[in-house]
Structure 1
Amino acid sequence: MTATLVLGGARSGKSMFAQKAAEMAVGTGRATMIVTGQAFDDEMAQRIARHQADRGESWITVEAPVDLPQAVSALPADAVAVVDCLTLWLSNLMLNDLDVEAAASALVEAVSACPARVWLVSNEVGLGLVPETPLGRRFRDEAGRLHQRLAQAADEVFFVAAGLPLRMK
């Protein structure tokens, strides 16, 4: 298992960094993109279509808006995968009133046991202002705790800003 956590702000280049790293690792084979986003409106549908077009047909797409630990656990040893993104997954859990702590524990366990090469992409939301609402503060706190746990489990951690990756671990 080799897991890499890739953190960064919105439009920081974190997804592209993970995608290119996975493409280099897979060579001429097919990489897997495990996606957590859902197209609830036209704008999100356009974003998803743009991401799919950017990846091209050489990628296998697995949709896991809630069942992310199961999707990671199902990866075979020879797989190269990118999970994009953990903060959308966390939002899906919270909006469906699911047990975030249990799901986070299951994800950390799945990543730790995963025999595949996997990049985990997530938005670092703890660098800005304290959110105004209780839900916003809970989301920020849950994301921070999830990132800390995954950073401990990961072999590598990168922070991406302005398209430039900084290796942290």
Structure 2
Amino acid sequence: MGKMILVTGGARSGKSAFAEKITLQAGLHPAYIATAEIWDEEMKHRVALHQKRRSAVWQTYEAPQNAKRAIADAGKAHDAILFDCVTMYLSNLLCRQQEPLVEAELENMTRAEMDRLLQAVKMLPEQVTVVFVTNEVGAGIVPENRLARFYRDLAGLANQQLAAASDEVYAVLCGIPLRIK
């Protein structure tokens, strides 16, 4: 297994730009694993901003689902992989669940999916660095609805699991990265 880095922060904190920078420093052949699904014009605009910021050196792998496969595929041809982002990927998984939503089942699903991502990273060649981007969603007010509270809690669990397995963890605040592990 190569190096694993987790970058977290709030919305528009600069975490993706920082993660792109350290991914480019980690390797000459970077891959970008994109987890967003475009459902509306606002999300289309957000994706376009991310794409515009990246140069042609990046190869993109679309992975709104089955990210384990995308990590494995990217690891065959790239020495640095940026996974952006864990919380969007988790949102995709959560939105595909059927009612009634059971908190314990969602927690098990989240842990199992993070285990799959970590297993995919462990199977990569030693020289590959993987940078995961995630949102810190638990620092604000308590959400008003059940689904949003489940999402907040699941994101916190996923972030803890990935942080524990990471070699380095950064929090980005106001565009300033702070190394916390």
Quick one: which amino acid aligns to residue 86 of structure 1?
Answer: V
Quick one: which amino acid aligns to residue 159 of structure 1?
Answer: A
Q: Distance in 2 between matches of 1:135 and 1:129?
A: 14
Residues 62-141 of structure 1 mapped to structure 2, 5 A cutoff: 62-74=61-73, 75-76=75-76, 79-97=79-97, 99-115=109-125, 116-141=128-153
Q: Distance in 2 between matches of 1:110 and 1:129?
A: 34
Q: Distance in 1 between matches of 2:64 and 2:78?
A: 23
- The 8 Å contact of residues 112 and 153 in structure 1, kept in 2 or not, is answered as no
Q: Count residues with an aligned counterpart.
A: 167
- 1:83 is paired with a residue of what secondary structure? strand
Unpaired runs of 5+ in structure 2?
99-108
- Amino-acid identity (%): 43
Matching residue of 1:153: 165
Deviations 1:78-123 (A, max 9, x none): 5201100111000000001184342222123223443320110000
Task: Give TM-score, length-normalised by structure 1.
Answer: 0.92
Task: Give TM-score, length-normalised by structure 2.
Answer: 0.86
Matching residue of 1:41: 40
Matching residue of 1:10: 11
Quick one: which amino acid aligns to residue 48 of structure 2?
Answer: A
- The 8 Å contact of residues 26 and 79 in structure 2, kept in 1 or not, is answered as no
Matching residue of 1:166: 178
Q: CA RMSD in A?
A: 1.6
Unpaired runs of 5+ in structure 1?
none
Cα offset, 1:127, TM superposition:
0.8
Cα offset, 1:58, TM superposition:
1.3
Q: Distance in 2 between matches of 1:32 and 1:73?
A: 11
Q: Distance in 2 between matches of 1:125 and 1:105?
A: 21
Cα offset, 1:6, TM superposition:
0.3
Q: Distance in 2 between matches of 1:88 and 1:159?
A: 18
Quick one: which amino acid aligns to residue 91 of structure 2?
Answer: S
Quick one: which amino acid aligns to residue 52 of structure 1?
Answer: Q
Q: Distance in 1 between matches of 2:146 and 2:118?
A: 25
Greater CA deviation, 110-119 or 3-12? Answer: 110-119
**Aligned structure 1 segments of 4 or more residues deviating by more than 6 angstroms:** none
Q: Distance in 1 between matches of 2:165 and 2:49?
A: 31
- 1:118 is paired with a residue of what secondary structure? strand
